[in-house]
Structure 1
């Protein structure tokens, strides 16, 4: 189905509305180094899109926000209601129409900075589900002058799908702003060379946006007054995107307002952010100490996968478990385990990388709603998905890096699926070799936590340890 990306004037508010939901993408099947052929690699862009799809309402974020102002003498200004922002009535109507009753924590602090006059630059850390996209969408819609028929706000995202997700938010929020138009600078959207765009907002991917600014001259970069770079951590994971983003940035004027968002802020992200955003205000999450206090950790000695399966069945029978997540290293192992669990009469869902993002979101939604009690998955589900009812996480295969050493970060992400929101959880690791035992020892040393041996065939011991 073809989409009319840039419709004629008067064709409705949103000239770039796709006729259907964003196209889903398959996880690329790559073989890296000595990795196994059917091992699921975590794709950051897909993970971000998956989180956007499954977090249809704002998540409860316990992290405190830390605000570092460019001008420390300026009074700290935050809002508790959208009315305080003095938005145009049609924009306020759009905000309430989307179901936002009051600003989220990131919005309370970020929106006053985004809407300030004179304009202020911002670097902000915010995960999916915190209202970040709605915040900068509102800023762009507030910023544009509908009377000016040229591009004034430019937003770049790392993938086609993520760009469309942002566009959908702007479309909803700008529902009552018929004079404001939006265009997509994404692959396949061809526009006559030399024709200047009349859309005030352009959302796109770095390569196409760069072409529209330089090669095809559809956008005059000197007329851009607000530049938004979303998903910076995902963006710089691709070298080409990073370089293209910097080239776009160089085309802009010094007084263009710069807004950069990222879920994480490793050193590489900070270096990139500082390169793109001069004299910024900074909003970041105060890192609460990653705690394993509410999670009891165990390991079980096994000989082969059949032993692991028996141990798993013993374990599941001994615990009063609301729901469980089981992690496997490969799709083949995940499929084998899923089939055997179903044969034993368990309600099981399978999640792996050959599924589309939308299919994965549907499986997670079913699991969250309790339609399946066990979720068997590969690494595609290790990060960022909060299901409150999960009380048991099993590492059927231990997480290892490309060199065969313990992947401590993935281990923390995996077992962090349990023990959430102050509840007690259990993490059980299956050990089937001397190498696996070495991995357990490495994890113990890294986190300075003892992982207790568990004999799943000894019901009395199980009862005592798991109580």
Structure 2
């Protein structure tokens, strides 16, 4: 058994552990940069699961992303509509009470769009995209809890997350939401949790990771997957794009009934992942963010020709010193370059923060909090931060190195996410690409052609010309 009170204690313990770790993280002063093996020139690619968890944490409490959602497919017999209040959803009174106590006064965009579909009868399958921090966890948790029949004492709802931390976070939301619903019980299926052999689960909601769920359902048979009526896949892009998780999810999916309601939620979906999801989810309603390329209209894009690393550095300092910017993010391809640049800018008196994959999740959050609070005006990072972080004051993004994929080809998706860190919330932004070779110029032209947006030449030695781009 893992009743709500125990779950709350469990979550509190996890939060204390994180707090203790944070208390031991020293604030990185601009003249005391993290030490690293500067001889290492490895690219800094984060794991999908780590990135997903990081985005959830750093975006907690931030303003909702203003990109509108679009319905790409809907059931013509069940027209999708949106609600402006939680009362309009006709929720159970005690569930509604828990929602309001959590501080939700009105549905967010993803909630008002997805919940009417998820709560309608007959149940609808859904594939939904919404950025971290926009309330998607609360959306699917509220939907799955609303489907529980409290009179039945066996698992009816299964929610899978790719990592222990994400499962705990979802459990925390669910525990708060059912605070006034003692008839609904939760069970955590994560590492460290065990069930006696030969026993059967009596909790209606199981929240956990794929490996543990497989063990409990197929190996120890403590609950029956065929009786699950709601299946939620959180961070679906991570699940589908991670080989081990994908195999486990397929095995679980095969055991579910044909009438089980499927809810797939994620911050991002590329076409490959979407194609796979549509094979798994029958006749889904699809809610996605409008293509972020539309936001590029708010971003002025430039390229600067540089003959060396030093010229790149000179261009960065000239631009940053001339344009009246709020805060800037500079993207590098490797940790080595990021550390070199941070140390050099720091010595020249700039308030610089650095964020690379060698930092723990807690340290990254600490660095980002300082940047978001304006303690440092320049954040130097690698691809660990190409997605998801919205800091309203960021007005300029610099690609110190142009983004390449694992095969050394121009990475258009990462380029889009990088420069999309500016021009947020309808404001104007500036993206600067530093070009130091004919190959780099070709990469820049690839981005220009792919997005259909002109990337203009900028002479970084001409202060008058630099001033104009900030006007």
Does residue 175 (structure 1) correspond to residue 175 (structure 2)? The answer is no
CA contact (8 A) 1:125 1:283 kept: yes
Most deviating of 15-24 and 49-58: 15-24
Per-residue deviation, 1:196: 0.9
CA contact (8 A) 2:214 2:252 kept: yes
Does residue 127 (structure 1) correspond to residue 131 (structure 2)? The answer is yes
Match of 2:15 in 1: 21
Match of 1:414 in 2: 418
1:160-309 mapped onto 2 (5 Å cutoff): 160-287=164-291, 289-309=293-313
Does residue 68 (structure 1) correspond to residue 69 (structure 2)? The answer is no
1:331 pairs, out of 320, 335, 340, with 335
Match of 2:346 in 1: 342
Give distance in 2, aligned partners of 1:49 and 1:323.
Answer: 24
1:236 partner SS: helix
Per-residue deviation, 1:290: 3.0
CA contact (8 A) 1:78 1:108 kept: yes
Give distance in 1, aligned partners of 2:123 and 2:300.
Answer: 49
Give distance in 1, aligned partners of 2:421 and 2:267.
Answer: 18
Give distance in 2, aligned partners of 1:22 and 1:125.
Answer: 31
Most deviating of 447-456 and 146-155: 447-456
Most deviating of 176-185 and 58-67: 58-67
1:284–1:417 distance in 2 versus 1, CA, 3 Å: closer
CA contact (8 A) 2:41 2:336 kept: no
Give distance in 1, aligned partners of 2:9 and 2:153.
Answer: 13
Most deviating of 309-318 and 12-21: 12-21
Give distance in 1, aligned partners of 2:86 and 2:213.
Answer: 32
Give distance in 2, aligned partners of 1:45 and 1:10.
Answer: 26
Give distance in 2, aligned partners of 1:22 and 1:266.
Answer: 36
Give distance in 2, aligned partners of 1:351 and 1:105.
Answer: 31
1:282 partner SS: strand
Does residue 433 (structure 1) correspond to residue 437 (structure 2)? The answer is yes
Most deviating of 364-373 and 375-384: 364-373
2:294 partner SS: coil
Match of 1:95 in 2: 99
TM-score (norm 2): 0.88
TM-score (norm 1): 0.89
2:367 pairs, out of 342, 363, 371, with 363
CA contact (8 A) 2:161 2:208 kept: yes
| Coordinate RMSD, CA, aligned | 2.5
1:124 partner SS: strand
For residues 299-322 of structure 1, the C-alpha deviation after alignment (integer angstroms, 9 at most, x for no partner) is 223233222222222221111111
Per-residue deviation, 1:37: 4.7
Give distance in 1, aligned partners of 2:4 and 2:411.
Answer: 55
Per-residue deviation, 1:64: 3.3
1:23–1:438 distance in 2 versus 1, CA, 3 Å: farther
Per-residue deviation, 1:258: 1.9
Per-residue deviation, 1:344: 1.4
CA contact (8 A) 1:127 1:262 kept: yes
Match of 2:144 in 1: 140
Question: Which runs of 5 or more residues in structure 1 are unaligned?
Answer: 1-5, 26-35
1:283 partner SS: strand
Give distance in 1, aligned partners of 2:9 and 2:465.
Answer: 66
1:419–1:351 distance in 2 versus 1, CA, 3 Å: same
Give distance in 2, aligned partners of 1:19 and 1:361.
Answer: 19
Give distance in 2, aligned partners of 1:15 and 1:191.
Answer: 19
Per-residue deviation, 1:260: 1.7
CA contact (8 A) 1:15 1:181 kept: no
1:19 partner SS: helix
CA contact (8 A) 1:231 1:263 kept: yes
Match of 2:35 in 1: none
Count matched residues.
450
Give distance in 1, aligned partners of 2:138 and 2:110.
Answer: 10
Match of 1:80 in 2: 84
